[in-house]
Structure formats: structure tokens, C-alpha cells
Structure 1
């Protein structure tokens, strides 16, 4: 259904490895199902949500033809947005054929009669997406949402069923499946956010759908937060502190509370994380103290600009256990830190990052260890 050369698509500037692909069976199935249903024909108004590296957007734009309306797209990851633009150039699709929206807002789906979705793993994120479409898309909208079978559950049908009259599942193909939804319900309410009180820390944690761990306190983050008083005591009061890969922003808020004169920056490439961090800062009365930036591995921050970086790196790339993201964030920390600056990182003990931290950042010492996590401090050479 498309003339695109899929082998040309890359994940760059996201991490790349032989086992990590830019296009998968779910991307192809979504596009094939949409084309077979006549949803990628002239006159259609198409939106794309959750495209990993541009396959859905570029495939839809190619099938619709150059005279079609602009394909609107939202990708949670900033690296995904950048990969889409780079891949468009590789396969010869003009960037004017699509428009990227950094925030999942009504404009993404306003009046759309076709929405293609790469299913998120989070049911809360899917609920946010379904509510947005039901409230703002064309009443005749057709939704084609797909994913790999290992990441799908029957609960996804139920979530879509709360916003649409009809939800049907396709047959599986190459370990992928799509869900087709239509007939948006009237009166669907707007998505809210989760909010939980961490009593022992005296902090609120807020999360929009899709952010890691939701409003629950991640156990690795807990290990670092418990040592925040002594981390702060060793930090210059007016220092610049960076919460790198901030998630819900709890580390940034705790740092702002412990170092009231410091400049605190929370940064993440995830749009959901950025929204969550802003909500967390506001809920804890720190909105004027915590600057929140959407950036890929802190690439918006100058070299040598921070005295302290706080980091709880992910150990998954999508659904794959992989150390590449952590390695990227360690290198980013080394770039951001001034000489003598400190990286305080918490990581799964089984991954044994200490040698890499020594090599990439500088001398590294263990601060604490639990049965699952290790907390280290590395000093920038």
C-alpha cells in the first residue's frame, strides 16, 4: 500500500543497535488495515499518535498523496519527532506533508476522521488518547490502533470501549494485532492526572497518562530521595542542579526544597514526563523554583553548566531490556557537569554500571545499596 523503502528508516537520534528496529510488524499492520478499509484515500483527514520513528506518519502521507491534507502527529518522545523528520528526508517525503505537535492537545485530532495509533503500554495513556479523540475528532472518526501481541492486553479493548461504541480486534499477523474503534461516545470527559501523597517525604507526586511509574513512588527514586539531605549538604547552596530524565519531577522538587537558593532544572524527552514534572512542581509549591525543559538527554543545557546531576536511568528501550539509554544519559551527565561536579545515580544493581561510570564520568563511589538498587556518586574529571 506504500512505495516507501522501509529499510531506509532509522531510529537516529534515538539509540541504535542491531536488535532495535525503526519499523516493526505493528506499524505495517496498522497501515495495511487502514488502507484495506479505505481510510488512506483522498479527502481523509488523518492524525497519528504514538508513532515511534515515523513509519505511520510517512506511510500515511505517502498513501494519501501530495494533494492530501497535512497529517497531524504527536509523539511522546522528542527523539521520535527528530527521527520522523530525518526519516522523511531519507525516503523523500516532504516535511510539509505532516505537522508535529509536542503536546497531546485537541489540535492533534480536531476534526480528524482517521486516527492511527501505536498503542502505548500504559492503559492510562491509552485512556487519555481515547478521551481526546472522542471529544475532539469527527463523529465519524475511525481509529486503527496496533501493537505487538506481547505488549497488548484485553484491558485495552475495555479502555477503548469506554470512549467508543464499537471496538473490534483484527486477526494477529507476525505477532501483531490492531484494534478498530468507531462511534465516539457523547459526553466523554477530559482526561485528568493522577496525584498521590508521599507521606514520609512530605511530597505530592503527579502524573499524566504514560509517564513511568505513574504517581507511585518508584523504588529506585525512593533510594535517592532518602539520601537527598546529605547530597544537598555537599552541594554549594547556589549551584545549578539538573534532574536528568526527570519523569514526574520528584527529584527536582526534593532538590529545590533542600537547596532553596539553587537553580533546579528538570529535563526529559517525554512530553508526558514534562507535563507531569510541571504538575508535581506546582502541587508542591515549587513551580517558580523548578524549570522544566523537554530535551533529549539534556541536549538543551550548555556544556559544563551544572554542579550536580541527579539520575535514575531507565533500563528499557520500549519493551526491550537494554542499557543503551543509561549509557546515553551517563555521557550526557559528563557533558553537562562542570569539572568537579557530581553525578548521583541510582541503578539496578544487577546491571553493574560502576565501571562505565568510572570510565565516562570519573571516580565513582557507592553511597548506598539495597537488595535491588545501588546509589553511586561520580565526580567529573
Structure 2
């Protein structure tokens, strides 16, 4: 059988760049291990297959019925596009649950960046897969640590690192241990300084903490909430005409709550969306993220804060399923990593998405590391941009859609 054409794979709709590719040596090692094991496709589960390299190579080799879980919406769409381009099928996508793992005797895993995510995955495999399941986890040697072996050892009796090849290494875990009655995730934490409860699955950025960038943006929102409340009190004292209503909108930079459409773009665990919904009860808030782990976390966060009936949470790529020109306000704490690579392309995609989603005159509030100097790009893609707040590390800006 000819070797699979990994070079034909593409990352789209994720960022494409000369220094970024849709597969690595770890994918190839995992495929080779699976084919050598001779396990039927229907008994194989693949987790963390970024752009479909593992799943499609197995399909190309005749493995039918492979189940796959990808955290990112961009990865799921890339798998669909690559499968269509290569005319391959015979696999099914699942969430990280029993439907993915029931009866699986071989699980292939691209090691996640966080130990928490690895712990949640290892527990899920031990909890739901076949009793004799073998978990083969792989990663680039430079990103691997002994702590990963320790985490796997909590769910498996035998954890055996293999020899490195082409700067990648596999770890074979077997002998699934008894699992606790309740899974280790999601986990929750109280943040009384903002009146928030955050709930997080293992793969969610910053776990159940408030990361420093989100914290700075929340502080700005807290200040603006007071200003908006004052505006609402004034509005109740003296009814306005439509013209007065527009002047009120322009002076505050946001619409009054009863007609305000707000998007938390790249919502993570949903801190910004939950806080905004708590302080603007009539606003229509949507929280969206490309990570399934983040979306599951955000839904739990909305329930924990009593705003689940007022916040819609969606799994999406840069708000691509949301209508153009409908948002009055977008809240954004953009990432500056793509996988293990430092790359500003992810933020640029979200800035461009904001320009599409905002109505003319709508506002984008974003926070970013000051060293990244995004302000000129925000002005170019969206419109006039002003600095609202700056700390030693982070800057918060407001951009008005032209």
C-alpha cells in the first residue's frame, strides 16, 4: 500500500503560513503504531487530531469506523475539507464522552499542552473504553515532560515511554485503573472580587482562574458598568425622543440594555460574558469559542452564575455562524499562540471577524499584551481606536466600527 500523502493536507480554515503545516512526525508515528497493532477501525478512537492527519491516514489504509474527537472547530472543519479533497470517508466525529470511547481497544492521542486536559482525557479513556484498552500518546520531544507520565499513571498501571524518532516520542499506557465515582472535571472556583463563579474542563485556557488579561478587561468593564448604570438612571428620570436616544448611545459608546447585542468572542470559560450578563440583564449576550472544552466550560459557568437563560454559548470558528453587522459590542481577549507556536494570526482573524460582526458605530473592547502593539491593526481593520487602560503588561482599547 502506498504511503499516505500527508503533504496534501491543509490547515484551512485555520491560519495558513509557511512555518505552519497540517501534520508532524508524531502523527506519522501514531498511524504506524495503529496499523502495526492490527486493531479494527471500529475499535480505534483518535483524540487531538488537529487537522485530520491521523484519522485520514487510517481511513486511507482501509480502517473503517474510526471515531475521532477534535477540540477545535477549525480542526473539525479542516478534517471535513481534507477528507473531501482526498475523497476519504469511513470515520465519525464525537465529543469527549462515552460515545467516543465505548468499546475502543486502541486510543491514539496527540498530547495536549495542559496537564489538566491530559488528566481529563486519561480519565475518560479509563472510564469508558474497553477494559483492555491501550492508550498511545505522542508529542514532540521538546514539549514533553515527566509530569505527563505521572498524569497517565493516575489512570493506567503501566506507562512506557518509547524511543524518540524524528524529534517525536510515543508513550504507551495500558492496564486501566479503577476510576473515581465522579470525573475530575469540570472544576469550579469562586471569584468574589467580580461576583463570578467559573467552571472549567481540563482543556479550557486558564482553567477556573481569571487570567491576567481577562482580569484587566473585567476591571474596565466594572468601571463602565457604573457609568452605564448612571446613564440608565438619568434616562428613567427624563424620557427621550429617538434623537435623544441616539445621543445617549453615542455618549456611552454602547446601546441601552434593552436593545444591546453583545458577543464574547473567544469566550474561554465565559468570564466576560457572565459578568456582562449579570450587570446588563436585558442585553442579548452570545459567548462563542472554537474550543469544545471552552464551550462546555462556558455553559457550566453560565449555569453557575444564574445567567444560562440570557447567554447563548456556541462552538464556532471566529463567530462564523453569527450574522454580519448585528453586534453592538464585542468583548475580546485574543490568543497569541497557534498550538505550540507564537503567532499573531489568530488575533488577526478575530479582529477581522469583529469587523464583520459589528454594526457601523459598534464597539470592540479588546485586551492584549502591550508588546504586541495591535492598535494600528485594529484601526485599519475596524476603525478609530483609543486606549482605555494600560498596565505594566496589558493594554485595553476600544475600536469603533467605521
Separation (CA, whole Å) in 2 of partners of 1:118 and 1:41: 18
Separation (CA, whole Å) in 2 of partners of 1:231 and 1:62: 55
- Contact 2:162 2:171 (C-alpha < 8 Å) held by counterparts: yes
TM-score (normalizing by structure 1): 0.95
Separation (CA, whole Å) in 1 of partners of 2:86 and 2:92: 17
Q: Does 1:367 align with 2:388?
A: yes
When residues 191 and 89 of structure 1 are mapped into structure 2, their CA distance, relative to the original with a 3 A threshold, is same
**What displacement does 1:263 show?**
0.2
Query: What residue in structure 1 maps to residue 212 of structure 2?
Result: 219
Q: Does 1:276 align with 2:276?
A: no
Of 299, 319, 332, which aligns to 1:311? Answer: 332
Query: What residue in structure 2 maps to residue 99 of structure 1?
Result: 92
Query: What residue in structure 1 maps to residue 238 of structure 2?
Result: none
SS at match of 2:320: coil
Query: What residue in structure 2 maps to residue 301 of structure 1?
Result: 322
Query: What residue in structure 1 maps to residue 169 of structure 2?
Result: 177
Query: What residue in structure 2 maps to residue 131 of structure 1?
Result: 123
**What displacement does 1:307 show?**
0.1
Q: Does 1:6 align with 2:1?
A: no
Query: What residue in structure 2 maps to residue 71 of structure 1?
Result: 66
> Which sections of structure 1, spanning at least 5 residues, go unmatched?
none
Q: Per-residue CA shift, 1:176-221, capped at 9, x if unaligned?
A: 1111011111344423212111121121111100111111110000
Deviates more, 1:230-239 or 1:6-15: 230-239
Query: What residue in structure 1 maps to residue 307 of structure 2?
Result: 286
Q: Does 1:328 align with 2:349?
A: yes
TM-score (normalizing by structure 2): 0.90
Separation (CA, whole Å) in 2 of partners of 1:352 and 1:243: 22
Of 237, 250, 254, which aligns to 2:271? Answer: 250
**What displacement does 1:282 show?**
1.1
**What displacement does 1:151 show?**
1.8
Q: Does 1:156 align with 2:148?
A: yes
Of 362, 376, 383, which aligns to 1:355? Answer: 376
Separation (CA, whole Å) in 1 of partners of 2:279 and 2:369: 25
Of 35, 52, 55, which aligns to 1:54? Answer: 52
Separation (CA, whole Å) in 2 of partners of 1:84 and 1:99: 11
- Contact 1:309 1:343 (C-alpha < 8 Å) held by counterparts: yes
Q: Per-residue CA shift, 1:346-371, capped at 9, x if unaligned?
A: 00110000000000000000000011
Of 335, 360, 371, which aligns to 1:339? Answer: 360
Separation (CA, whole Å) in 2 of partners of 1:231 and 1:304: 23
Mapping 1:179-194, distance limit 5 Å: 179-189=171-181, 190-194=183-187
Of 45, 53, 75, which aligns to 2:43? Answer: 45
RMSD of Structure 2 on Structure 1 (CA) = 1.4
Query: Which of these two proteins has the greater Rg computed from alpha carbons?
Result: 2
- Contact 1:221 1:312 (C-alpha < 8 Å) held by counterparts: yes
Separation (CA, whole Å) in 1 of partners of 2:70 and 2:322: 22
Q: Does 1:207 align with 2:200?
A: yes
- Contact 2:382 2:400 (C-alpha < 8 Å) held by counterparts: yes
Separation (CA, whole Å) in 2 of partners of 1:84 and 1:348: 32
When residues 40 and 332 of structure 1 are mapped into structure 2, their CA distance, relative to the original with a 3 A threshold, is farther
**What displacement does 1:322 show?**
0.5
Separation (CA, whole Å) in 2 of partners of 1:69 and 1:178: 24
Q: Does 1:85 align with 2:106?
A: no
